[in-house]
């Protein structure tokens, strides 16, 4: 296939096992690095049993601070067939997962849809994305995805360019969120576990409290039913360690400024991650666990 699946519009040749020139660097067939129960998502996603995460390799965004850069930038992963992806879904469901959580799935949407056409699990399908999505690709997922767990990383184009080389990120992400909300605007829970809905995530970066507040305000004004999740797990990893401004952790003062603003707003559909989450121990081990 010549791939234009995401906003990078590479028009790159992707074969079953290779990729010539595409930013994500991934073949057409799904490539995965871990499939296991995961307990560190929002409480309505992880619950007591865990979220059935499938960590896909490769990424179209390549943030300089990515904590998963072993799989997103260095492309560690095993290429599998669609039927093997089906078997992974079945295994996670049998382990008692509350949902199937597709992490960084954008470049494998066609294989994911093919797998779900073969077998649709009885638990919700979570699309866990960077927010750098084309609306046309998201439209293909209507009827397949139950929960959109979508980042809104940057509202400032200069930061999007500097940290992800994606100057168009904010507009692209806003349109992606509108499409996700068009598909999932009824919020359904069962025993505190989300069954349908949209959660917008924002990772608080160093020296970016105004950005975080602007993202929160945008979500509240434009998709007011959506849940908002402020994440504080930022660590200066990868290339970020050498970049001025972001080569440090978020301070307590920055964290408190943003969380106080959110709490004072009275907005209730909100998750606030504790500062102690900024710890390398929370980074998953990409050791091919669960890859059958
Ligand atoms: S999915 Fe990969 S190859 Fe396709 S347009 Fe996006 S980055 Fe390029």
Cβ 208 under 6 angstroms from ligand 1:
no
266 domain-assigned:
yes
Taking the centre of ligand 1 as the mean of its atom positions, its distance from the CA of residue 70, in whole angstroms, is: 19
Cβ 23 under 6 angstroms from ligand 1:
yes
Residue that has been written with the tokens 């009275």 in this structure: 266
Distance separating alpha carbons of residues 61 and 133, to the nearest angstrom: 10
Task: Name which of 6, 1, 7 is nearest 20 in CA terms.
Answer: 1
10 domain-assigned:
no
250 domain-assigned:
yes
Distance separating alpha carbons of residues 8 and 260, to the nearest angstrom: 36
2 domain-assigned:
no
Distance separating alpha carbons of residues 68 and 291, to the nearest angstrom: 18
Query: 130 and 81 in contact (C-beta within 8 Å)?
Result: no
Q: Which DSSP letter does residue 205 get?
A: P
pLDDT value at residue 278: 67
The closest residue, in CA terms, to atom 4 on ligand 1 is 3
Q: How many CA atoms lie within 13 A of 106 on its CB side?
A: 28
Task: Return the minimum-mean-pLDDT range out of 25-34, 71-80, 174-183.
Answer: 71-80
CATH number of the domain enclosing 146:
3.20.20.70
Task: Return the minimum-mean-pLDDT range out of 66-80, 89-103, 131-145, 198-212.
Answer: 66-80
Give residue 213's pLDDT band: very low, low, confident or very high (50, 70, 90): very high
Evaluate if residue 8 carries a pLDDT over 80.
yes
pLDDT value at residue 282: 75
5 domain-assigned:
no
What range defines the domain where residue 241 resides? 29-282
DSSP assignment string, 224-262? TTSEEEEE------GGGGGSTTTSSPPPHHHHHHHHHHH
Provide the number of structural domains found in the chain.
1
Taking the centre of ligand 1 as the mean of its atom positions, its distance from the CA of residue 234, in whole angstroms, is: 26
24 domain-assigned:
no
115 domain-assigned:
yes
Distance separating alpha carbons of residues 85 and 120, to the nearest angstrom: 12
pLDDT value at residue 145: 98
Taking the centre of ligand 1 as the mean of its atom positions, its distance from the CA of residue 60, in whole angstroms, is: 6
Mean pLDDT confidence for 119-129:
98
Give residue 109's pLDDT band: very low, low, confident or very high (50, 70, 90): very high
Taking the centre of ligand 1 as the mean of its atom positions, its distance from the CA of residue 11, in whole angstroms, is: 7
Query: 101 and 45 in contact (C-beta within 8 Å)?
Result: yes
Evaluate if residue 281 carries a pLDDT over 80.
no
Evaluate if residue 280 carries a pLDDT over 80.
no
- Reduced to 3 states, what is the DSSP secondary structure of residue 32? strand
pTM for the whole structure: 0.96
Cβ 75 under 6 angstroms from ligand 1:
no
Give residue 18's pLDDT band: very low, low, confident or very high (50, 70, 90): confident
158 domain-assigned:
yes
Residue that has been written with the tokens 């660097």 in this structure: 25
Residue that has been written with the tokens 């576990």 in this structure: 193
Give residue 21's pLDDT band: very low, low, confident or very high (50, 70, 90): confident
Give residue 73's pLDDT band: very low, low, confident or very high (50, 70, 90): confident
């Amino acid at each position: 296939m010549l791939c234009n699946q995401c906003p990078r519009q590479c028009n790159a040749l992707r074969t079953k096992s290779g990729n010539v020139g595409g930013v994500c660097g991934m073949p057409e067939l799904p490539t995965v690095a871990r499939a296991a129960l995961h307990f560190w998502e929002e409480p309505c996603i992880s619950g007591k049993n865990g979220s059935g995460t499938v960590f896909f390799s490769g990424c179209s965004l390549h943030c300089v601070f990515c904590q998963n850069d072993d799989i997103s930038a260095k492309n560690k992963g095993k290429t599998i067939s669609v039927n093997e992806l089906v078997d992974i879904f079945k295994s996670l469901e049998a382990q008692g997962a509350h949902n199937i959580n597709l992490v960084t799935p954008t470049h494998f949407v066609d294989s994911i849809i093919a797998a779900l056409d073969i077998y649709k699990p009885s638990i919700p399908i979570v699309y866990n994305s960077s927010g750098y999505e084309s609306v046309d690709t998201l439209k293909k997922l209507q009827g397949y995805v139950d929960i959109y767990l979508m980042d809104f990383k940057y509202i400032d184009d200069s930061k999007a360019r500097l940290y992800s080389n994606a100057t168009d990120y904010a507009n692209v992400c806003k349109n992606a969120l509108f499409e996700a909300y068009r598909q999932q605007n009824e919020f359904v829970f069962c025993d505190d576990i989300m069954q349908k809905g949209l959660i917008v995530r924002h990772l608080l970066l160093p020296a970016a409290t105004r950005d975080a507040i602007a993202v929160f305000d945008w979500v509240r004004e434009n998709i007011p039913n959506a849940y908002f999740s402020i994440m504080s797990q930022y660590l200066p990893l990868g290339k970020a360690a050498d970049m001025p401004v972001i080569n440090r952790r978020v301070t307590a003062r920055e964290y408190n400024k943003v969380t106080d603003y959110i709490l004072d707003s009275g907005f209730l559909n909100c998750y606030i991650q504790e500062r102690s989450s900024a710890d390398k121990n929370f980074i998953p081990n990409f050791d091919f666990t669960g890859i059958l």
